[in-house]
């Protein structure tokens, strides 16, 4: 249904000059599987995460006849690997990829590495959900006693992060602010006719949804993004405005199930 709707929307191109952008959360990571706060830790994809990129995202993009001139990722491996697998399975391995630290996942501070249920048992579910979904709720800063502190701080993939901008923790709102400059750059490329895929992280996709759709601070707290489900936007290249709403590509029941899993604290 979603794919048929997407293909019908192509008729709008005969009425105005438009271009599409695809937003995508990476495949399942090891910390997703273990239900841990991940943030800036460079957790790899699981075998299932690789399968999602190859068997969920790629077929949906191919069936919708989407193609790309450039792919944006973060510098984290789970983002880059997902993009690599998707392009390879689309026979588009030659498409250039731009890795930008500003598209890294939200930094979860001293929650990094802990199971969500473990933190909920200590602080209560309401507090954990506030840290996960609240717009201005900031987790405690990561400190040197956290086993991932030095792993993250000494990781050379972050060498391009300017002095003074390396986060110790972030709220959703802080993540929204961090991605705004790179989003403006990407949007300009889209309006210039570049076909862009953004393959990033859960909170970063939510931050981008806020910028793209103009979602309120209150409404974005209820948005949940499942792994490897392409979210397609169409822009009027003259005005920069959205044409219609977002279209999620894939089986609606599968998307509903995976979205509910993301929303829950879990075991």
Asked whether the beta carbons of 28 and 34 are under 8 A apart, the reply is: no
105 classed as catalytic? yes
- Other beta carbons within 10 angstroms of residue 132's beta carbon come to 24
Does residue 37 have a known ligand-binding role? Answer: no
Task: Determine whether the annotation assigns residue 106 to a binding site.
Answer: yes
30 is in an annotated binding site: yes
Q: Residues near 115 by Cβ (< 8 Å), separated by ≥ 6?
A: 34, 35, 36
Instruction: Reply yes or no on whether 218 is catalytic.
Output: no
Yes or no: say if 8 and 244 are a contact pair by the CB < 8 Å rule. Answer: no
Question: Would you say 31 is a known binding-site residue?
Answer: yes
Is 132 annotated as contributing to ligand binding? Answer: yes
**Residue 154 is assigned to a ligand binding site:** no
32 has binding-site annotation = yes
Q: Does the annotation place 41 within a ligand binding site?
A: no
Residue 108 annotated as binding site: yes
Residue 27 is assigned to a ligand binding site: yes
Helices (H), the chain: 2-8, 30-33, 47-52, 58-63, 77-89, 116-123, 125-133, 149-153, 172-191, 202-213, 217-220, 252-263
Distance CA 203, CA 78 (A): 14
Is residue 72 annotated as involved in ligand binding? no
- 26, 41, 52, 170: which one is catalytic? 26
Closest CA to 201 of 81, 113, 69: 81
Q: Is 225 helix (H, G, I), strand (E, B) or coil?
A: coil
Instruction: Quote the CA–CA distance of 100 and 259 in Å, as a whole number.
Output: 26
Residue 33 makes CB contacts below 8 A (sequence gap 6+) with 46, 48
Q: Binding site annotation covers 80?
A: no
Q: Which of 41, 52, 84, 105 is catalytic?
A: 105
| Residue stretches of the annotated binding site | 25-32, 78, 105-108, 116, 132-133
As annotated, the active-site residues are 26, 105
| Residue stretches of the annotated binding site for substrate | 25-32, 78, 105-108, 116, 132-133
């Amino acid at each position: 249904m979603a794919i048929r709707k997407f293909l019908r929307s192509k008729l709008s191109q005969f009425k105005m000059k438009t271009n599409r952008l695809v937003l995508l959360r990476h495949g399942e990571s090891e910390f997703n599987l273990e239900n841990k706060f991940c943030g800036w830790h460079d957790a790899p994809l699981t075998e299932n995460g690789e399968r999602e990129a190859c068997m969920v995202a790629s077929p949906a993009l191919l069936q919708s006849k989407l193609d790309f001139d450039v792919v944006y990722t973060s510098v984290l491996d789970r983002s880059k690997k997902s993009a690599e697998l998707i392009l390879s399975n689309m026979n588009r391995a030659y498409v250039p990829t731009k890795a930008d630290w500003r598209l890294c996942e939200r930094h979860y501070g001293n929650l990094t590495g802990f199971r969500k249920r473990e933190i909920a048992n200590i602080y209560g579910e309401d507090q954990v959900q506030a840290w996960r979904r609240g717009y201005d709720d900031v987790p405690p800063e990561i400190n040197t006693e956290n086993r991932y502190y030095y792993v993250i701080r000494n990781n050379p993939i972050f060498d391009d992060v300017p002095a003074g901008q390396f986060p110790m923790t972030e709220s959703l709102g802080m993540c929204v602010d961090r991605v705004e400059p790179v989003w403006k750059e990407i949007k300009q490329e889209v309006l210039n006719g570049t076909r862009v895929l953004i393959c990033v992280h859960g909170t970063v996709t939510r931050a981008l949804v806020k910028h793209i759709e103009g979602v309120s601070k209150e409404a974005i707290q209820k948005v949940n993004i499942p792994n490897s489900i392409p979210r397609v936007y169409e822009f009027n290249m003259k005005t920069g405005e959205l044409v219609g709403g977002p279209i999620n590509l894939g089986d609606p029941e599968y998307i509903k199930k995976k979205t509910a899993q993301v929303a829950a604290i879990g075991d």
